[in-house]
Amino acid sequence: MSEIAGLEPRLVWEQFDAITQVPRPSKKEGRIIDFLVAFAKEHQLEYKKDGVGNVVIRKPATPGFEERPAVILQSHMDMVCEKNSDVEFDFDNDPIRAYIADGWVRAEGTTLGADCGIGMAAALAVLIDPQAQHGPLEALFTVDEETGLTGAFELGEGMLQGKYLLNLDSEDEGELFIGCAGGIDTIATFTCSMEEAPKNYSFFRVDVSDLLGGHSGDDIDKGRVNSNKTVARLLWGGMQSCELRLSYFSGGNLRNAIPREAYAIFGVPTRLKKDFEKRYELFAADLEAEFRLREPNFRITLNEMPQVAEVLDARSQFALIYSLVGVPNGVVAMSAAVPGLVETSTNLASVKFAGENKIVVTSSQRSSVESAKTYVMQMVESVFALAGADVVHSDGYPGWTPDPQSRLLAVTADAYRRLFGTEPKVRAIHAGLECGLFLEKYPDLERCRSGLRCVAFTRPTSGSKSPPFPSSGSCSTKCCGRCSRRRLEFRVLQGAAPGFFRIFACSVKSFSYAEKPPLSSLCPLRMPGGGPDFRRRILPFCRVRGAPAHAGARFGAVLSRRAGGSRPVRFRLGVHPAAGGFAAARTAVRCGGRHGRRGAGAVPLFSGAARTGSRGTRGTGPGHDG
């Protein structure tokens, strides 16, 4: 066992530690399948494995809960396998080298596999927790979620007996997902011919770049500009006014990404060169004005080229450019069931000259309503078919229509409120999830996707007791590399009724790095000073249910500060007794360094402030910023 096995809740972390020792790349899940089967046998639990390797482990209800409906806890076995270029690591054979830093579980130079290893660990822990009271349980572990949703697509008949399914694959704390989009790809192939470039033509290359891009599901509602559509607009205008002839077009790459860059090589008659350049300047100025609020870094450039040898034949050029301009792109419809959710969309993903006189245009369509997905696919196909292209579609995957009245949602949200004293955010996502696929074979299934509420603490420093924490999970994240950590010790001086403790702290936050904490989890706080690159927030560090409230009770938190900061950090503690209402416990805080050295004297909460540099050992190691 590694050091992470000693974290609390111990049962969850012991399972996660064991999972990290088993290689489990996508499409190579044989060892983790054997691990799950051995787990079931060791604990004398019923299990079943289907033809593609999915495993379900069943546990009967505890006494008195036999009449409760069966609940399915679902996660996937495989992990994303990425490593730093300077790290020697074989994902097919080597165990993940997990360690603890600044209260977070991390991996040495590789991905940790918390997606969805921590979901697997939570399910396994519930199956063997002697104190858990529950109805019939099923833990479903699917294969190859990351690269093809293979396990969900090919889930065997008779694998599931329960009606209620909780997907444990969410990375969003405090959010419950009740719907997702289905998707299908449309590939249009133009057969064209090239001909000798006309004489007395001047040739140019136009580049569109530095767009924000993003995921074609999650980011499609943000108004991101599509580089393929932008280049096509310029070409269309040139065809109308300046006898433009196209030689080459390339834009986008991934089918599920909004394209950020595209370019085209084309020519106009030399006699119209000056006129075209003027028109281009006006067009570029119009685009900058049109995009200025959506694409602050947008760039379009025009550079003259040497004479090219070939251009696209006129018929193929007309068909390609007119279809690229005319094909729908972006949000098609918003959901009537979930306010603010995109229901249906389409993304013009890539345009490629594929050799052998072929031009391949790839687009992707999404919708949480199956009939609407079919319709938007038909819209896209119709445009390209009218242009003479051969159009084919991928197999696609189904959506999951949101049901805000779901009983499972009501029960899950109520449990969340009771455990954490706050309202969960109920959402649907405009992207594909395994949940949508299960409905095809199990149409009566109710589903909810939940992230694990988590507080991950290192072992206590010498001389202090390990505080009790709720049975939760863990997170791992990237860091800006400029953080400093402080361990705060909260000590109750005068007891209150045992109940629900909420610890808050605030610090100057930098949001300049790539992995931004979700703003939805932060509350605005006004503090004087600071430049425009900083935002202030009250950040909830942990919520401990049933924490000891007697005099002298202690529990800890980890406070993040920018390195070198000296601004006071204010904090407060609220106690929500089980009987209801609000009571303030008299408390004190000592602010010390990472190595346990105590800081200045105790400071009363609610009104006090402590400086993180106060006599403590400054921590400089990287970690999650907040």
Residue 520 per-residue DSSP state: G
Q: Which residues contact 436 (CB under 8 A, 6 or more apart)?
A: 180, 181, 182, 397, 398, 399, 400
Torsion of CA 284, 289, 294, 299, to 10 degrees: 30
Q: Is 383 helix (H, G, I), strand (E, B) or coil?
A: helix
What H or E segment, with its residue span, contains residue 532? none
Query: What DSSP string runs through 104-130?
Result: EEEESSB---HHHHHHHHHHHHHHH-T
Do the beta carbons of residue 55 and residue 11 sit within 8 Å? no
Tell me the residue type at 554: R
Catalytic residue among 29, 102, 144, 145: 145
Measured CA distances, 532 to 86, 511, 512, 562, 621 (Å):
36, 11, 11, 16, 26
* Buried-exposed string 475-498: b where 16+ CB fall within 10 A, e elsewhere: bbeebbeebbbbbbbbebeeebeb
Sign of torsion over alpha carbons 122, 124, 130, 136: positive
Sign of torsion over alpha carbons 72, 73, 77, 81: positive
| Active-site residue flag, 625 | no
| Active-site residue flag, 145 | yes
Scanning 292-337, the segments in alpha helix (DSSP H) are 314-326
Q: Is 30 helix (H, G, I), strand (E, B) or coil?
A: helix
Catalytic residue among 8, 17, 78, 169: 78
Query: What DSSP string runs through 328-339?
Result: --EEEEE-SSST
Q: How many CA atoms lie within 13 A of 442 on its CB side?
A: 23
Tell me the residue type at 276: F
Distance separating alpha carbons of residues 214 and 69, to the nearest angstrom? 41
Distance separating alpha carbons of residues 95 and 30, to the nearest angstrom? 15
Residue 79 per-residue DSSP state: B
Q: Catalytic residue numbers?
A: 78, 145
